[in-house]
Each structure stands twice: as C-alpha cells, then as structure tokens.
Amino acid sequence: MIHFPDKILHRYTCTEESVDVYGATTLEYEYAGDVLVDFQNEQNKEIREAFGVAKDNLYKIYFDEDTIIHDSDELRDDEGNTYIIIGEIREYTHFHNYKKANLIRKRGG
C-alpha cells in the first residue's frame, strides 16, 4: 500500500473528562493540529460487519508513520463532519512505513 494523501483532517485530542449532573461522562476536546491523510470509504464487508456499521458510514485513513494520531482523538473535516477512530491504529513497517485507522462518522457532527 502506497500512501496517497488527499485530505486534511483537523485533530482534536481529549483534554478533560468530567461527569455531568446526570452522572454521564463527558469529554472535552482541544484542537491539536492538522493531519494529512489518504481518506477512503471502507469497502471490506468483513471489516464493516466486525464493527457493525453501514457501508456509507465507515472509512479508512492511511497516514505517514510520523503523524501523531491517538485512538482517543476526534478528527474533523472542512465540511463539518466529525469522525471517531474505532478499533486500533495499525502500523505497517514492511516495504512502505505507514499507519492505518478505521473511522466512523459521528451522528450530528
């Protein structure tokens, strides 16, 4: 897999965890920089079924091994969509060094 970056995502990292008046955990995110990624729809049926999501709501990104992205980060695009990383970020070190993550588009954001 060769990395073909085609999209800039804005990375927001979790800075604080608190509990609201109803006892639910709320997370606060802070802008941490932009990342250049190769953004694609996830076409693999087995991966979609493993995560239990629809075809049009699961994406994959490939990015340079030196790019900082954490499993707990939120990624946002210029169209106002917010993406959450599901599963783990995978690193590939044979031939082409890159990382891969699956994203799901967050409802309402």
Q: Considering only 6-15, 40-49, 66-75, 91-100, which range has the smallest mean pLDDT?
A: 40-49
Q: Which of the four pLDDT bands, split at 50, 70 and 90, describes residue 10?
A: very high
pLDDT value, residue 35: 96
Q: How far apart are CA 35 and CA 75, in angstroms?
A: 9
User: pTM of the full predicted structure?
Assistant: 0.82
**Three-state secondary structure call for residue 49:** helix
Q: Measured over all CA atoms, what is the biggest interatomic distance in the chain, rounded to whole angstroms?
A: 51
Q: Which of the four pLDDT bands, split at 50, 70 and 90, describes residue 25?
A: confident
Give the whole-number percent of the chain exceeding pLDDT 90. Answer: 51
Q: Which of the four pLDDT bands, split at 50, 70 and 90, describes residue 33?
A: very high
Q: How far apart are CA 100 and CA 58, in angstroms?
A: 13
Q: What are phi and psi of 79, to 5 degrees?
A: -90, 0
pLDDT tens digits along 66-93: 999 999 999 999 999 999 999 899 998 8
For the chain, the residue count is 109
- pLDDT at residue 49 is higher than 70: no
Identify the sign of the CA torsion 37, 11, 85, 48: negative
